[in-house]
Amino acid sequence: MYDLLIIGSGPAGMTAAIYGKRAELNVAIFEKGAPGGQVLNTAFVDNYPGFKHASGYELASSMFEHVLSLGVETKFEEVIDVKDFGEYKEVITTTNSYQAKSLLIASGTVPRKLRVKGEENFIYRGISWCAICDGALYKDKDVLVVGGGNSAVEETIYLSSIARKITIVQNLDHLTAEKSLVQKLKTISNVEVLYEANVLEFKGNESLESVIVKHRNEEKEIKIDGVFEYIGLIPVTHFLKNLPILNNQGYIQTNEFLETKIPGIFAAGDVIEKHVRQIVTATNDGAIAVQSVLKYINK
């Protein structure tokens, strides 16, 4: 039996794995994809201490190398259910089941979709949620970015050096990204922002060809080669449906010690109720959560 099982290998999960292993816990971490979480989908990171400027991939890789250097057991399996048996917890994956004294959920979030006509037809055939993954496909082409927050503006800045023209569709009358990002965006000549606008439909045959946008009171069709959506995130908590630890939006409820309502089950990172979702706050959560795990195990 493990002392601690961690679900998710984003910044929160990897930090927890590092702290847990250094505290000599028998720990394992689960990841169904590539280690790094949403950091992997970030073109650049300029606000993480110690890294003046790094790609999301570089930062995630550095964190995972640290995890591996300590000998943390990593299981590339998808978790489909979690059960609470009081003194121990069970994690069920698509291929196995595992028991542990404690459990830390750091499963993060996934991008939210627009859910408008035609969207499902062009997922990864013109519509993407990762500029660093797919940006190179649109060299010298026209792309559209949906959203006005930090992610949308950061990825637009990244795409501006690749694409011919970028059109931002923002439903508000202003961008909500940090002022420094907005100021930088304003200096880029191949970016146009449509305020008070919404995407109504995606159109095309084999691949995406155009987008119907309602801009204020006018509907118009914009010829486009690709679209990147940054309109928010959805917590990855579907495997927790049988546990009473979620709020109405699907985020995990915790106290200041990252404890859930169930003794021995903890949560950290973007998947919990919180006001700020950043890499640095996720790593903070991971460190705090392990201190709580240690107190729980040793009581």
Q: What is the pLDDT along the chain (299 residues), one digit of tens a residue?
A: 999 999 999 999 999 999 999 999 999 999 999 999 989 878 788 888 998 888 889 999 999 999 999 999 999 999 999 999 999 999 999 999 999 999 999 999 999 999 999 999 999 899 999 888 889 999 999 999 999 999 999 999 999 999 999 999 999 999 999 999 999 999 999 999 999 999 999 999 989 999 999 999 999 999 999 999 999 999 999 999 999 999 999 999 999 999 999 999 999 999 999 988 899 999 999 999 999 999 999 98
For 238-245, the CB contacts below 8 A with 24+ separation are 239/7, 239/79, 239/80, 239/81, 239/82, 239/107, 240/82, 240/105, 242/81, 242/82, 242/83, 243/82, 243/84
Closest CA relative to residue 142, chosen from 121, 165, 170: 165
DSSP-derived pairing of the beta strands 165-169 and 191-194: parallel
pLDDT at 41: 78
Q: Which residues contact 238 (CB under 8 A, 6 or more apart)?
A: none
Q: Where do the domains of the chain lie?
A: 2-110+233-298, 113-229
DSSP-derived pairing of the beta strands 89-93 and 27-30: unpaired
Q: Which amino acid, one-letter code, is at 86?
A: G
Closest CA relative to residue 113, chosen from 161, 67, 146: 146
Q: Which token pair is 281?
A: 């706050």
2-110+233-298 against 113-229: fold identical? yes
CATH superfamily for domain 2-110+233-298: FAD/NAD(P)-binding domain (3.50.50.60)
Q: Which helix (H) or strand (E) holds 142?
A: strand 142-146
Backbone angles phi, psi at 75, to 5 degrees: -115, 115
pTM (2 d.p.):
0.84
Q: Which residues pair with 128 in a beta bridge?
A: 228
Dihedral angle of Cα 244, 232, 258, 23, to the nearest 10 degrees: 120
Angle, helix 11-22 to helix 56-69, in steps of 10 degrees: 20
**Are 162 and 136 in contact, with CB atoms under 8 Å apart?**
yes
Q: Which residues pair with 252 in a beta bridge?
A: 246, 272
> Is 204 exposed, middle or buried (CB count within 10 Å of its CB: 0-12, 13-18, 19+)?
middle
Tell me the three state secondary structure of residue 1: coil
Can you tell me the distance from the alpha carbon of 35 to that of 247, in angstroms, rounded to the nearest whole number? 26
Q: Which token pair is 75?
A: 């299981």
- Please determine, looking at this structure, whether the domain spanning 113-229 carries the CATH number 3.50.50.60: yes
pLDDT at 203: 97
Q: Which residues contact 102 (CB under 8 A, 6 or more apart)?
A: 3, 4, 5, 89, 264, 265, 266, 293, 296, 297
pLDDT at 42: 81
